[in-house]
Amino acid sequence: MFINWALQEINLKIVYYGPGMSGKTTNLEYIHSKLDPSLTGELVTLKTKEDRTIFFDFMQIEVGRIKGKKPKFNLYTVPGQVYYASSRKIILNGVDGVVFVADSQKDRMEANIETLLDLEKNLKSMGFSLENFPWVMQYNKRDLPNAESIDVLERKLNLFDVPSFEAIAIKGQGVFDTLKAIINLVVQHVQKQL
Ligand SMILES: Nc1nc2c(ncn2[C@@H]2O[C@H](COP(=O)(O)OP(=O)(O)OP(=O)(O)O)[C@@H](O)[C@H]2O)c(=O)[nH]1
Ligand SMILES: [Mg+2]
């Protein structure tokens, strides 16, 4: 959180975290395509030829007010590929809330678990933990035939029983439900601190 007292603005950082190709960038692209341009900034994205995120994707959204201050949500994605571990750590710095975008496909279970552990490790190094931090789970790619059942996903991934959402990000399904949930959690959390 960063408060600009002169402008009465609160900057809050939400990071979309998850394994490679789970659909993090797709979430941001959909959000950006649907919101009124007056409420959002540019979507800044830097990709490889194969459309993989190199460092992060970024956009800003303005919503309502918290205790007279104007909140600005800065949405980031991390690069999911295993070897970008240090980028993920840097991007997580100063985070206020996380959306974990899991890939529902059965053969991505291990990658989901590994990335959750990577997230927990990085949060720990900042003095947080998945147990007491605002985060939500998104089970993406529900349209694919090899998608694991929600029961199994919940049992294996949602160990802290956080709010979870099914999504088909390429069609926008579940994208705004997920975003609203994390915004609400982050706002609740911040209101306690102000
Ligand atoms: N079938 C299906 N494909 C999806 C869905 N969401 C995203 N994709 C596709 O999955 C691929 C990867 O999506 P990205 O959004 O680039 O994934 P990412 O998590 O940003 O990946 P990295 O940047 O490499 O970490 C793209 O081809 C998307 O079109 C979905 O709900 N269903
Ligand atoms: Mg990406």
66 forms beta bridges with 69
Cα–Cα distance list, 96 to 13, 27, 92 (Å): 5, 18, 9
Q: Check if 122 has its Cβ closer than 6 Å to any atom of ligand 1.
A: no
In ligand 1, the atom with minimum distance to the C-alpha of 140 is 31
If you measure from the C-alpha of residue 159 to the centroid of ligand 2, how many angstroms do you get, rounded to a whole number? Answer: 25
pLDDT at 193: 80
Share the mean pLDDT of the chain: 94
Banded model confidence at residue 39, pLDDT cuts 50, 70, 90: confident
Q: What domain count does the chain have?
A: 1
Look at residue 139 in the predicted model and tell me its pLDDT: 99
Mean pLDDT, residues 79-88 taken together: 93
pLDDT (tens digit per residue) in 113-163? 999 999 999 999 999 999 999 999 999 999 999 999 999 999 999 999 999
15-19, 71-75, 189-193: segment of lowest average pLDDT: 189-193
Give the closest ligand to the alpha carbon of residue 87: 1
Distance (Å) from CA 80 to ligand 2 centroid? 7
Nearest atom, ligand 1, residue 51 CA: 16
39 vs 128, more confident:
128
The predicted model scores a pTM of: 0.96
Domain with residue 157: its CATH number is 3.40.50.300
Given the CA of residue 101, which atom of ligand 1 is nearest to it?
Answer: 19
Is it the case that residue 10 has pLDDT exceeding 80? yes
Q: If you take atom 2 of ligand 1, which residue's CA is the nearest one?
A: 141
Residue pLDDT, tens place only, 61-71 = 988 777 788 88
Residue span of the structural domain in which 148 resides: 2-193
Quick one: pLDDT at residue 191? 83
Ligand nearest to the CA of 24: 1
